Structure 1
Amino acid sequence: MTATKPWYFSRTIWASIITVATGAAGVTGLPIDAADGALITDTLLQSVSAISGLIAILGRLSAKDRIG
């Protein structure tokens, strides 16, 4: 595995964050099913992808220098 990607594109990181969050929610008395955790993970990944795409577009539009 030689390719790298930002941490926020990692399904493992997001699934781990959701696992910790659902565990904490369970401790506080808010029950969350495992299926809900998977749905939350997918939703967050799609949101992060959309936001990072918008940031890339806005960054390119506001850039002062050419790519080259």
Structure 2
Amino acid sequence: MLEMKPWYQSKTVWGALIAIAAPLLGRAGLELGGAEQAEIAEALTTLAGTVGGLLALYGRLTATKGVGG
């Protein structure tokens, strides 16, 4: 794995968080099956990538200083 990405774009991280939350939700009366967990992880990964991209674009457009090396 040479290419890096932010943690919030990782399906593995979202899947793990959902897997941790699923039993807790089950105790509260909300059951999540494996298919639902996978769908939620996919949706959260897409949402996180979109929000991250929008924040990056907003940050660049509202920046007061240029980017340089």
Q: TM-score of the superposition, structure 1-length normalised? A: 0.86
Correspondence 1:60 to 2:60: yes
Runs of 4+ in 1 over 4 A off after TM superposition: none
Query: Where does residue 39 of structure 2 map in the other structure?
Result: 39
What RMSD in Å do the two structures reach over aligned CA positions? 1.3
Gaps of 5+ in 1: none
CA apart distance, 1:62: 0.6
Residue-by-residue CA offset, 1:9-41 (whole Å, 9 max, x unaligned): 221111001111111111222112210110000
**C-alpha displacement of 1:50:** 0.6
Residue 21 in structure 1 maps to residue 17 in structure 2? no
Counterpart CA distance in 1 for 2:46 and 2:3 is: 21
Structure 2 unpaired stretches of 5+? none
Identity of aligned pairs, percent? 37
Matched residues in 1 for 2:48 and 2:35: separation? 20
**Residue correspondences, number:** 68
Distance 1:34 1:44 in 2: 15
Q: Is the 8 A contact 2:9 2:46 kept in 1?
A: no
Give the conservation status (yes or no) of the 8 Å contact 2:26–2:32.
yes
Please report the TM-score for the alignment, with normalisation by the length of structure 2: 0.85
